[in-house]
Structures are given as structure tokens and as C-alpha cells.
């Protein structure tokens, strides 16, 4: 479900930045919000980029929406942004240029920054700025990349991927559906197994932290593993992931299944421990650090100046 004000900001940014690719919006809004999204698409549809809208019933699981959008992609490369995220065109071009020259990589990712305006709103002066860490996936060995992802639990969906890789990743997600596992953990886990991801220094993605939270705003990992879908989903994922590892890393099938089960449960245990401490313990505030040189270059860049501008200037939804 998209928020019209955030979609307005994103489409305004892609117009003003000269983005010349294709934006596909998957939306399960209802009522007036859904009509606002339709009018926004009509307002921007004759710009420099192609724009398509898929309206999906709210009864369709999120993984079903992902699959429908990926099936509609007719470009060689693909990436993702939530309604409150921005993908930087120059970063996407840098990632594509790298992938064109390096067929051994499944994806490339530019630097990501997290910003805040001090309130849950798409418009305002950016008052906080942090560089988000990203693990090293430029390593051989699918099992090592899978283990790294499970330990860090940082989505790799904001990378620029070869479209075929995402069709495989999201096509492998088994039924039944469970939030988080269906649309994030399982496709991310499969993606890192399929190939290496290159990290590039250019600005690539801007995430807004005000009002963020996603699935964990309403659920915990404890809720999910107690759901009736969990036993079947976890077992099917283990089988599929083990099959991939057997083929890619040439691991003995029994060893692959054992490793996948161990890594999956390590991931679940890590999230349970983290969420328990958030709920029941007073955790110390750990200062967030960014590379000072990166932040200086960022503030001097024309790309980030445009980001600040699109946040700063409030626009009215043409509804």
C-alpha cells in the first residue's frame, strides 16, 4: 500500500533528475488513496521516464505483487524502492556499467544513506544523515555469502540486479506465504547465493527513517515462527536453498541441507534475541558513525542537492 504524498515526492524526483528508465508501481491502496495514485500516474506519465501502475487487491500476498511486477519488467536490469525511498539515477547507471563489464556478478550496489526530517512526513528539511553499512558480498562461495546475509540481516534488494536473477529469486519463494520471509529474507538469501554483489562508492539510494519499520511495526519474529505456515515454509526453503548450494558450490546434498538449517535458525535466533532486548531491556544508545570524507563529498554533490530540494519543497497531490 503506497502513500500518495510519498509517491508524489518520488515521481517528482525522477522527473527532476532526468531519469530515463521505467518506474513500475505496485499498489494495493483502496478508496481515495487508490484514486490519488491513479491521478498521480496520469500526471507524470508523459515525462522522461516510462511509468506503469499495477493495482492489486489487498488479498494478494506481497510476494504475489512482487512477482507480477517482476514479470512485467522488460529491461535488462532491475532494482527496488519503497514509497519513501529514492534510487539515484547516476548510481543506477554506475551499477549497470559495472555489470555490463563483469558478467560474473549478479548485482551491483552503490552507497546508501538514511535521512530524517524529524517527523513522519515526506516533506521537510533533512536534519539527520547517516551512511548505511553494507556487508561484503564480493566473495567467492555461495555458502559464505548466504551466511553473511543471514548474520547481518540487511536487505540486498536495493542493489541493481540482472532481471533474470530476480525472476529466479522470487520464483523460488515457496508457498505458503509469511510476511518478511516471503518478500525479503528468502529472495535476498537466494539472490546472494546466485552470485556476487559489487559495492560501488557512488551515492545510490536514499532511505527515509521517519515512520519506517515495515513488518516489525506490527509483528515479531516470535509471531512468525509460531504461525501455522512456518513449518512448511521453512522446510521448503531449506530444500530449495540446499539444492542451489549443491549445484553452485558443489556441496554434498546432506551437508547443504544441514548448513541451510543451521544458518536459518541462527538468523531466527538472532532476530529473537534482538527484538527481546528491544522490548524488555534498556539497550544502550550506540552512536551511528559515517565516513566523514563520504559525507563531505555527499554534501558537495549535485545529486544530493537535488534530494534535499525534493524533500524541502512541499507539493500538493493533484487529486
DSSP per-residue string spanning 1-62? ---HHHHHHHHHHHHHTT--SEEEEEE---HHHHHHHHHHHHHHTTSSSEEEEEE--TTS-H
- For residue 214, what pLDDT is reported? 76
Tens of pLDDT, residues 19-48: 999 999 999 888 999 999 999 999 999 889
- Within 10 Å of residue 78's Cβ, how many Cβ atoms? 21
Residue 211 has pLDDT above 80, yes or no: no
- For residue 199, what pLDDT is reported? 97
- For residue 126, what pLDDT is reported? 96
Query: What is the pLDDT confidence band of residue 62, given thresholds at 50, 70 and 90?
Result: confident
What is the mean pLDDT of the segment spanning 295-311? 95
- For residue 285, what pLDDT is reported? 79
Largest Cα–Cα distance of the chain, in whole Å? 59
Q: Which of 81-85, 136-140, 212-216 has the lowest mean pLDDT?
A: 212-216
Residue 212 has pLDDT above 90, yes or no: no
User: What is the spatial distance between Cα 75 and Cα 57, in angstroms, rounded to a whole number?
Assistant: 26
User: What is the spatial distance between Cα 310 and Cα 299, in angstroms, rounded to a whole number?
Assistant: 15
- For residue 59, what pLDDT is reported? 87
Residue 5 has pLDDT above 70, yes or no: yes
User: What is the spatial distance between Cα 268 and Cα 271, in angstroms, rounded to a whole number?
Assistant: 5
- For residue 217, what pLDDT is reported? 85
Most confident range, picked from 108-117, 207-216, 274-283:
108-117
Residue showing cell 494478494: 60
Residue 1 has pLDDT above 70, yes or no: no
- For residue 9, what pLDDT is reported? 96
- Within 10 Å of residue 89's Cβ, how many Cβ atoms? 19
For 126, the grid coordinates are 533533512
- For residue 47, what pLDDT is reported? 87
Amino acid at each position: 500500500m503506497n502513500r500518495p504524498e510519498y509517491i508524489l515526492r518520488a515521481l517528482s524526483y525522477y522527473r527532476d533528475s532526468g531519469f530515463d528508465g521505467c518506474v513500475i508501481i505496485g499498489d494495493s491502496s483502496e478508496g481515495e488513496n487508490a484514486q490519488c495514485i491513479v491521478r498521480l500516474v496520469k500526471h507524470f506519465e508523459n515525462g522522461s521516464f516510462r511509468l506503469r501502475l499495477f493495482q492489486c487487491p489487498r488479498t494478494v500476498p506481497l510476494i504475489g505483487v512482487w512477482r507480477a511486477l517482476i514479470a512485467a519488467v522488460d529491461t535488462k536490469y532491475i532494482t527496488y524502492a519503497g514509497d519513501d525511498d529514492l534510487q539515484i539515477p547516476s548510481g543506477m547507471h554506475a551499477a549497470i556499467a559495472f555489470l555490463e563489464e563483469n558478467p560474473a556478478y549478479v548485482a551491483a550496489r552503490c552507497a546508501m544513506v538514511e535521512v530524517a526530517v524529524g517527523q513522519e512526513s515526506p516533506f521537510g528539511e533533512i536534519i539527520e544523515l547517516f551512511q548505511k553499512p553494507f556487508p561484503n558480498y564480493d566473495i567467492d562461495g555461495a555458502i559464505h555469502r548466504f551466511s553473511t546475509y543471514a548474520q547481518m540481516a540487511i536487505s540486498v534488494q536495493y542493489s541493481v540486479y540482472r532481471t533474470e536473477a530476480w525472476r529466479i529469486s522470487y520464483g523460488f519463494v515457496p508457498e505458503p506465504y509469511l510476511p518478511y520471509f516471503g518478500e525479503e529474507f528468502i529472495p535476498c538469501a537466494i539472490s546472494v547465493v546466485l552470485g556476487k554483489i559489487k559495492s560501488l562508492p557512488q551515492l545510490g539510494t536514499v532511505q527515509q527513517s521517519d515512520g519506517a519499520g515495515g513488518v516489525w511495526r506490527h509483528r515479531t519474529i516470535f509471531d512468525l515462527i509460531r504461525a501455522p505456515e512456518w513449518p512448511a515454509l521453512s522446510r521448503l526453503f531449506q530444500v530449495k536453498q540446499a539444492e542451489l548450494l549443491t549445484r553452485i558450490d558443489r556441496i554434498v546434498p546432506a551437508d547443504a541441507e544441514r548448513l541451510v538449517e543451521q544458518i536459518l535458525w541462527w538468523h531466527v535466533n538472532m532476530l529473537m534475541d534482538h527484538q527481546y532486548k528491544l522490548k524488555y531491556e534498556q539497550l544502550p544508545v550506540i552512536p551511528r558513525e559515517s565516513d566523514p570524507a563520504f559525507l563531505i563529498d555527499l554534501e558537495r554533490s549535485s545529486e544530493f542537492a537535488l534530494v534535499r530540494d525534493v524533500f524541502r519543497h512541499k507539493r500538493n497531490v493533484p487529486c
